[in-house]
Amino acid sequence: MSTATAQPLHLSPASGWQPPALDESAVDVLYDDVVAASRDRRRGYSQPALRVVLNTGDVDPQFGPQATQTHLLPEPRAWLQRMAGALLECMTGVRSTNQIARWVSPLVAERVNARSVIAKRRGARPLHRSLVRRVHLCEPDDGVVEASVVVQHDGRVRAMALRMVGVDGRWIVTAMELG
């Protein structure tokens, strides 16, 4: 009969208390997982906000969402600077995503909410407030503004692309990309 001898336990020091930074592809994978999970949970659930879809046959032209001309809307540059800052605060978990729900399309709200969930899960808070450095506007059509925004966010200078459409007397962000 042989006797078993216990091997000594080797402990390695912890690598650090902060999680490693995620690259963009990992964030996209996490985002896709969160969106898929939220869609599965919402089956059988009535969405509290209405999706804004213009120019479709099933929308009543008198009582449905109405396109608004640019001259009847707030000045886009100043509005966009405030909105870009609010979107960044929402994506880092500093601001509630419910605060911007009225001014973004449901798809943009879903993306911002997913990034907010990831940021809250990581527990990281930005050291400095996000700063909007520069805004470049382009108006491809009346009531439509496309913008590229240069922001300083989490110690990095990044680009943000936004598309806004005038609906019912206010701007609504219908597309957003953060580089």
Protein fold of 25-39+50-55+65-178: Nuclear Transport Factor 2; Chain: A, (3.10.450)
pLDDT on residue 134: 93
Q: Residues 146, 173: contact at Cβ < 8 Å? A: no
CA atoms within 13 A on the CB side of 169: 0
Domain locations in the chain as residue ranges: 25-39+50-55+65-178
* Percent of the chain residues past pLDDT 90, beyond the cut: 26
What integer is the mean pLDDT of 4-15? 71
Mean pLDDT computed over 79-88: 92
- 172: nearest Cα among 87, 109, 105: 105
Using an 8 Å Cβ cutoff, are 110 and 41 in contact? no
pLDDT score of 16 more than 70: no
pLDDT for the residue 47: 44
